Every structure is written in C-alpha cells, then in structure tokens.
C-alpha cells in the first residue's frame, strides 16, 4: 500500500525531474527512496507531523515530527549514494546546524536530528539536542515507529 501511494504521488508531482534526461528513471528513484523512508524511518501513527521544508537562517529542514515520549525530531534525508561509506564531522555539519535551530525553536521539547542516508542506512545517525552523535540504531530515536 505504501509503495502504491508513493508511486501515485511521484507520478503526479515529479514532472520536471530527470535522471540522465530520463523522467521515468527519476520517478522510479524518487518512489524507491520515498518507500525506503516510509518503511524504515517514518514515525508511528501517534507522532504529529509538524512540517516539511521549514526554512531558517542556516538552511531548510526536510521533515519535523513531534513524537510522544521523545519530543520534536528533525529528519534530514540524504538521497545520494556515497563513494566513501563513513560519516564524518564535515558530513554532519548540516545536521548540527539543524540541531541548533531545533534547540532554539523548540527548547527543552527538542529531542534531536535524525541524519538518514536512505541509500546507506547503516550510516544513519541521531544528533541529540546537546550535540552528541549516536549511531541511529543505538540512540533514543532508533525505533520511532514503535515509540509513537
């Protein structure tokens, strides 16, 4: 059901996107990545969706959720495949800016940022409100679908 809805949405919304000049290939990749996010990372039904593409001085956050028992969580989605497989400080600079934004905007209600490389899920991270970086699987945000 998730794949069907994602495919329908992508076919309606993705009109100008191209991968090597190929709209069908772009649509297939977008659908695949949307399904990967929804299957692996989307919070459960109790989570409240707060918004997408929220702008601030340091960028634009992808998705924001309020998760019962955890707090506000920003999801930073990465859709590119990496040649190098390890996450480093330079790669985490953007989600660290998002963490600062989240802590300022939501204060003590902010839990952190999930850094989600959709094509390399083993490198997913959770940056807590205080800036501590955890592997997502070892973090308080590991199972948002189960928690919400």
Q: What is the pLDDT of residues 111-139, one digit of tens each?
A: 999 999 888 888 899 999 999 999 999 99
Most confident of 32-46, 47-61, 105-119: 105-119
HEC assignment per residue over the chain: CHHHHHHHHHHHHCCCCCECCEHHHHHHHHHHHHHHHHHHCCCCCCCEEEEEEEEECCEEEEEEEEECCCEEEEEEEECCCCCCCCCCCCCCHHHHHHHHHHHHHHHHHEEEEEEEECCCHHHCEEEECCCCEEEHHHCCCCCHHHHC
pLDDT of residue 134: 93
Give residue limits of the domains in the chain.
Answer: 1-40, 44-147
């Amino acid at each position: 059901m998730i794949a069907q809805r994602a495919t329908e949405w992508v076919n309606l919304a993705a009109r100008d996107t191209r991968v090597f000049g190929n709209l069908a290939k772009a649509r297939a990749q977008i659908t695949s990545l949307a399904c990967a996010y929804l299957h692996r990372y989307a919070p459960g039904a109790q989570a409240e969706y707060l918004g997408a593409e929220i702008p601030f001085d340091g960028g634009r956050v992808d998705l924001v959720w309020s998760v019962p028992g955890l707090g506000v969580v920003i999801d930073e989605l990465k859709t590119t495949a990496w040649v190098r497989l390890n996450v480093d400080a330079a790669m985490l600079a953007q989600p660290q800016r998002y963490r600062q934004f989240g802590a300022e905007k939501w204060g003590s209600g902010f839990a952190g940022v999930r850094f989600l490389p959709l094509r390399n899920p083993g490198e997913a991270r959770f940056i807590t409100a205080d800036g501590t970086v955890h592997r997502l699987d070892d973090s308080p945000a590991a199972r948002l679908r189960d928690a919400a």
